[in-house]
Amino acid sequence: MKLVSITVSILLLVAGIGWYVLHGDECSAPGYIGAGTTVFKKDDEGRVFLLLAYERGRGWSTFGGGPKKLDLSQSASGCETPDQTAVRESVEESRTLLSAKLLSDAINDAKFYANPTSRGDYITFLIELDQPIELNQYYSAQLPNDPGYYETSEITWIALDDILTRGRFVETPNGQPLWDVFHQQFDAMLQSQPEHYWFNQQ
């Protein structure tokens, strides 16, 4: 009987460690379940292009994810704020192509959309790039040993007009569609306000 009890205790301990490995960095932040950015640029004719990255098993999407735990000395709630989550996720998923400073500065004045869910809002900040970025740096960046930086494997610009016309099945470099969850949230954002509002168009 004692052996069975010890075995059960060990199994519970292993299960607990496994859960922490998978979920230990996550936290339940009141009011929101995640945050990210929709980064865009405009060409000389005013056409809008979205910066999208590809994640295997999901598809093409903008950048974002859930909040991580912070030390209580950094946050009274022990969780990232939406701004912090959006910046960190965007830096990681763009493989440092987007810098934390660029994103932090831009978020201060950015428009944002809160997509409601049963567990809280998912908050998206819209950030316009007014300086060119070299996409090749995405593939050559020296990255830290952190799985967050390896979630995506490709990056590209896609015209907003093409997304509005073709939806999820817009043409992409690898022929894969937009992630359905991203497309639903993006469509909901455009339903709340027209595209010229979100993308600073005349």
pLDDT at 14: 33
Residue 11 binned pLDDT confidence (cut-offs 50, 70, 90): very low
- Report yes or no: 107 and 87 within 8 Å, Cβ to Cβ: yes
Q: Is residue 16 part of a domain?
A: no
Q: Is residue 21 part of a domain?
A: no
Q: Is residue 121 part of a domain?
A: yes
Return the CATH number at 145. 3.90.79.10
Q: Is residue 18 part of a domain?
A: no
pLDDT tens figures, 114-173: 999 888 999 999 999 999 999 999 999 999 999 999 999 999 999 999 999 999 999 999
Q: Is residue 9 part of a domain?
A: no
Q: Is pLDDT of 22 > 60?
A: no
pLDDT tens figures, 164-197: 999 999 999 999 999 999 999 999 999 999 999 9
Q: Is residue 112 part of a domain?
A: yes
Total domains in the chain come to 1
pLDDT at 50: 99
Q: Is residue 87 part of a domain?
A: yes
- Domain range for 117 is 26-198
- Least Cα distance to 160 among 37, 43, 49 occurs for 49
State how beta strands 120-128 and 32-42 pair: parallel
Residue 161: count other Cβ atoms within 10 Å of its Cβ.
Answer: 13
Q: What percent of the chain has pLDDT over 90?
A: 74
Q: Is residue 12 part of a domain?
A: no
